């Protein structure tokens, strides 16, 4: 029953860190496509599938924002 509750809950990086034994910085690197050892990637992928968390691809799609802005800096004389 506890496992079902966890599957419906969104986990924080801190909670994933406690479950996996991997640092929060490494978890962040995993989601930002930074360098991470194969061993740590496998551990995180297993936790993602076991707990029904969002995958890296879904995370990227929800975080990708394209702003078409131009900034002009004009000195005041």
14-72: pLDDT as tens digits: 888 898 999 989 988 888 878 899 999 999 989 888 888 776 655 554 455 567 778 88
Query: Are the C-beta atoms of residues 24 and 17 closer than 8 Å to each other?
Result: yes
This prediction has a pTM of 0.60
C-alpha dihedral, 51 to 57 to 61 to 67, nearest 10°? 130
Q: Check if the beta carbon of residue 40 is closer than 8 Å to that of residue 26.
A: yes
Say if residue 2's pLDDT is above 50: no
Q: Which residues contact 19 (CB under 8 A, 6 or more apart)?
A: 11, 47
């Amino acid at each position: 029953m506890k496992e079902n509750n966890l599957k419906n809950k969104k986990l924080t990086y801190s909670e994933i860190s406690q479950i996996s034994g991997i640092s929060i910085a490494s978890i962040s690197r995993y989601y930002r496509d930074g360098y991470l050892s194969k061993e740590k990637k496998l551990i995180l992928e297993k936790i993602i599938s076991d707990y029904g968390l969002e995958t890296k691809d879904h995370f990227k799609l929800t975080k990708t924002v394209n702003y078409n802005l131009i900034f002009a800096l004009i000195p005041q004389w």
